[in-house]
Amino acid sequence: MAKVIMPLAQGFEEIEALTVIDILRRAEIEVVLAGLLPGTVVGAHGISIVPDTTIDTIDASNFDMIILPGGQPGTDNLNTDKRIHKLLGKFASKKKLIGAICAAPIVLATTGLLSGKKVTCYPSYRDQLNGGIYEDTPIVSDGSFITSQGPGTAINFGLAIVTRLAGYRTSDEISKAILFQDKPRDIWSPYLFDSTVQALLGALELKDSYSQGQARRVAEHSLNIGLKLKMSKSEMRDLYLGAMLHDIGKYNTAEDLLNKPDSLSLREETLTREHTLKGTLFVVGIDNISHIGPTILHHHEHWDGSGYPSGLKGEQIPFHARIVAVADAYDAMISNRSYRDGLDKETVLRELVKKKDTQFDPFIVDVFIECLKESPFEMKDFSYYF
């Protein structure tokens, strides 16, 4: 059973704390409440809670995750307590999950944990993220960090945490049991994104015969993973774009290299690897899609650090890039190539499992295999998003 610690300070936001506690306990996840001082803690709206223990008794090694509720003055009280910063540092050093909602992400920022990380928070605190990359969306997951915007997103936040700690099936069961209906703001443009993507892909497919349909298959696999992880609409949009355009840099790669039936020389392999850099440059500066550059740039990084172009390791690799990497590898192995026939499905799945913890994020591989088991014969059509 997973075990979570939630520190409570005077003035915490009751909806954020109690909603998350309720959802996690429905998932049979143990939640321990720790006050900053002994005795009752009173929330921002006068609701009193008696914590299970105090923060001084907490050993980070006994927990899988720490969650900070927001609210004021609760967040400021957490942020001025050095014990909280120390505890967060211990969780981060062990790459354990860290969650924060509403104003609470600024505590992570003060601790120095958000630099370069995608994050969300209550909008009025977006300028206090200390290097965090703000996204205006209910939930943002980046590696071991899960953040949420505020009281109205507390159910989404709790379900996202359950997905990570207990699996998407448990999260889905709870969602159905409480009759939860997620209706985020409609940020999808009916034409803008898809028309841009289709135009770019059309240019590539004219040049590279192998690429025909490949990007769409990788996008479908990636979005199936995203659905299982209950990604928000904005994250699904970005994942779609990153998956569709992950190989767009091959447009600037010589055709004889793309379709060569023999093994590539060292020089030729170096030239083909440049497609990640070229693809990133392709989208830089284009409104609404330039932010997917990290997915394009890093989808050939390996979990153990042996990939390219940057040799990133583990959770240093952008989350969407890790998803695309698994989907892309699956499609590459199962499809016919210029130099070999495609492998059968069972062989490909064995290869994915074999390369967990080396080439691929093991969590993403497990989720993807579950996707294939549930829909073994046909993938969903995601064109309805546009």
Q: Which residues are catalytic?
A: 102
User: Measured between alpha carbons, how far is 228 from 241 in angstroms, rounded to an integer?
Assistant: 18
Phi, psi of 322 (to 5 degrees): -65, -35
The answer to whether the beta carbons of residues 301 and 312 sit under 8 Å apart is yes
Ranges of beta strands (E only) in 90-167 are 97-101, 118-119, 133-134, 139-142, 145-148
**Residues 6+ positions from 236 with CB-CB distance below 8 Å:** 223, 226, 227, 385
The answer to whether the beta carbons of residues 34 and 58 sit under 8 Å apart is yes
DSSP 171-202: HHHHHHHTT----------SSHHHHHHHHHHH
Look up residue 39 and give its two tokens.
């005795």
Contacts 24+ apart (CB under 8 A), 19-23: 19/154, 19/155, 19/157, 19/158, 20/67, 20/69, 20/99, 20/101, 20/154, 20/157, 20/158, 20/161, 22/158, 23/155, 23/158, 23/159, 23/161, 23/162, 23/174, 23/178
Residue 133 CB neighbour total at 10 angstroms: 16
Count Cβ neighbours within 10 Å for each residue of 292-322 and write b for 16 or more, e otherwise. Answer: bbbbbbbbbbbbeeebbeeebebbebbbbbb
In Å, what is the CA distance from 89 to each residue of 5, 7, 68, 96, 207?
14, 14, 14, 10, 49
3-state secondary structure of 252: helix
User: Measured between alpha carbons, how far is 48 from 72 in angstroms, rounded to an integer?
Assistant: 15
**Residue type for 358, please?**
T
Q: How many residues does the chain have?
A: 386
3-state secondary structure of 383: helix
